Structure 1
Amino acid sequence: MTFTAHMRLGSIGALAAMAAFGIAALRARRPQPAGVDTMVKIELEVAERDERRRVEGSCPFVVGRSADADLLLSDPEVSRRHARFENDGRTVFVSDLHSSNGTFLNGRRVVETIEVRPGDVIDLGTVRLTFLGSQPCS
């Protein structure tokens, strides 16, 4: 049996269908364009294999296996350019970059750009990122 759905993004029907399949769009919204002085530094805890480490970076911040990623991961289940963190000056967001295995925020698949808050857990393959917070760059 094949299931095919045609949905317009943003429609109530699409949200209901995503909810039926366990796909969340909680806190989803597009970041507003950031001003010149709104550079934000984010802090993440990375749990990869048996190793834990803290990393910092400024938005936009790309995570993946590619050498040009801001956070380089070695997990083969992680795509070369897997996910991106960005901000609008006040809020930090994460989006999936059409990865093969998906990006999950607190156990729910990320299907559009979504807000992250301190303590949120982002899973990419077998790697677990915990968003620790953000602050303006000085």
Structure 2
Amino acid sequence: MITFSIIGKTRTKDKYRVVYSDVQRVELEREFHFHNKYITIRRKAELAIILGLSERQIKIWFQNRRAKERKQLKKAAEEKSRNLNRPNNNHEIPSYEGMVNQHMMQPNNALPAEQLLPAPANHPIVHPSYSENHHISDRLMKLEMNDDQIG
């Protein structure tokens, strides 16, 4: 494949690709954002003279820029839709697998196999951090038993 440079252009086979200068890009972007996304014939001729480009190059740049903007808007809309379909992170309940994985990633916190299995239906599920406060749960159980006897 033959490639050589002609001031601002590169050639690959028979197709030219214009490499716009920083000044040209800034002016084209300014025109696109602050004036009009669809350039008039008159303004296209003016810009071609000012920037040293052909009217065809200006026209194609605007077509490509509009396509780029549509692509960006579509991507942003998809991300917004995806975020709306997700539960709010502040109120999200982590999955069982997520909690186990998070716990396993912390040093010296490997869970014994019996804690990874679901508890039997007749066995209350108690988080290990509650074991320090077992006296509180004992009191609650005694109160519940008293309520059952009274009622």
Output the TM-score relative to the length of structure 1: 0.20
Q: Which has the higher contact order (CA 8 A, sep 6+)?
A: 1
Output the TM-score relative to the length of structure 2: 0.19
Q: Which protein has the larger Cα radius of gyration, Structure 1 or Structure 2?
A: 2
